[in-house]
Structure 1
Amino acid sequence: MGLGDIWGLWRKAAAEQANGGGKEQDVHTRIMKRNYEAVPHWCFHLMLVIVMALSLYTCEGFDRQLQLPSWGLLLACGIAFSFTLPIGVISATTNMQPGLNIITELIIGYLYPGKPLANVVFKTYGYISMAEALTFVSDFKLGHYMKIPPRSMFVVQLAGTVVASTVHFATAWWLLMTVRNICDVDSLPPGSPWTCPGDDVFYNGSIIWGVVDPPRMFGSLGNYWQMNYFFLVGVVAPVPVWLLSCRYPRCAVLRNINLPLIFAGASGLLPARSVNFVMWGLVGFVFNHVVYRRCKAWWMRHNYVLAAGLDAGVAFMGVLTFVSLGYFDIYGVQWWGGTADDHCPLASCPTAPGVVARGCPVVP
């Protein structure tokens, strides 16, 4: 799917909205328009104005402790606004959502180096706001299919957001004021639950991208400047596929090549094993090509049910694995799918200084 497809879908949706719909709309949309009133646009515009004003006050007030100036906030909101539509279309058609977390950290790291809190705030407004917007739209889509009144959905979403954010902020503030040495693993008593693993991710990201800053890693001062060529790869990669699809318009394989989906899937390659991708490709090929060609009607009825069943199976097996193995402290299960990718003989070598092991270097 390219920019032309995304632009075409947006123009079609905008034209249907302007013309009040018609026979081309699906049955769910016709039922919802006939039975319920839509949420007025001014409600969304009012929320945008209020949130933007509060965000500007938060960044510029409080003695500017968040370090992010107003131009950084507006830039972050502009990035979220620009990417919400294309990433939303990709997410709606492929169920995969490419993230902007690294992109936002990289941009503000170059523009405003040495500011860790500004880096975190910019990432929050530039990436997490877009992700929350898509989650909001996804909830509305579920309510659309379940025939829930849109205005009731809007009120519930708004009330839930206000209550959840208020309780979250109050709880965090209370913990910071009452728990001594919170999130400090070295100073906490043994067995303390306040280790804050999720906060460590944000903290490490602020240090890497804010304090160290990207030029010392991906610029002329760093060792990984070659990684910048992958931005060029991302720009050029769709061009040959588009040219081939124009040259051979009847080729279904070329029409179905989705470069953003391929790149997003490859982002999970490192923590996953090759057996995961082999099984994913096998199931996808069998059910999306063989079954589709032989029994199109069955595929159209049960494809999404199969996808939901596979997701539910993964969750069920996760619980079953914990109950049968993790609950009894059984770890380190060895099987061919978990060891086929192990090609680093030094990975099991000791890292303590002075320890001698056969075939391993001695750490001084």
Structure 2
Amino acid sequence: MPGKYIVAHNRDRDFYQLAAAVAEADLLECLVTDYYVGAQRFSVPRLKHRRSPLISADKTRSIPSTVALQALRGPLDRIGIDTIHNVNRRIGRKVRDVARRSPNADLLLYSSYAREAFVDPDLEDRKKHLFVFHPHPTLIGEILAPDVSHWRIGQSGLKEETGLTHRVDVLNDELSHADKVLCASALTKRSVVRAGFDADRVHVVPYGIARPMPAYQEVRTKADPLRFLFVGQAIHRKGVHHLLAAWQRHRPANAELVMVCSRSQDGLLENLPDGVRVKSGLSNEELWKEYCRAHCFVLPSLVEGFGLVLLEAMSAGCYTIFSENTGFADLGLPENTGLQCKAGDTTSLGEAIERAAGMFADGKIHHDEIRQTSELFSGASFRERVRECLGM
């Protein structure tokens, strides 16, 4: 009988899929997180989504102080405190304490929360598995810096991704003590190996669709303009500047680009070309309608741990255009489902946009077939691959 696992992360990362993977096998010792419905004496209505049907509250340990810290993040960050780093450390210490009291439990921890337990001499005999959800900053810097230099935009994004050396130190300590590393994309694996970790101990486990999606609504009509969609933060590493440049040069006739952005950085959404509309503050229901209206979803990221929005778009029948630096590059999708472009190359991206438009005009893309293909990439399949990787 394999041992049980302690899992840890902040917020509802990946919709609790990693903890759920071991919970389904009755091998979850404990999930340590900031807030989980039913796990603490108080409730926060705006956090009512922080739960999973696969994880009971009595299998979790919450840390109320981290909820308070995150509520104060804005003013704390403005006076020079790295709030999230402090939250991560509190979660890490809680993991260590829980593990000390659970002598038969091994560790399956997200990066950023593992160091305290991994380096503890009292836990030296535990199996230490690390899920690295975002590429290592060393490779990120090597990818982003030349692009920043060429486009003269994205300096603050580069600093945000690579400039917090104390966070990099934590990740390096975690990697040096890990027995096995799991990550969701080949790019993340490449970054971990580039940072010096043994490639044989790094395993790629691609995500599936993690959260239940609303019922599909067929709202596309032949009279509609060809609608391209981007969903995500308008930040440098997402390739927003490449998308806008490619759109300006290669915009198909009677086409529009809708960008749903939670925040914008470095002036990336200034001076928009014709045919671009920006939306923000959408509810989950409103965002789902945007997916269902769109014909083609575009994510030309320079750096991406995976790109879960691609799976969500596919589940709504969207054709996808994605760079080789997303997790979709690992899935081997057929051309009638998606097109890969070269990251940072506006010509490659523009040609993909034009080719997609031509395929739509020729009737070669069918949204129902794409929705059916998306069923191959389910949350259940991701959880099964996690268990296989752990030897269950």
Give the TM-score range, shorter chain: under 0.3
More strand by share: 2
More helix by share: 1
- TM-score, normalised with respect to structure 2: 0.26
Structure number with greater Rg is 1
- TM-score, normalised with respect to structure 1: 0.27
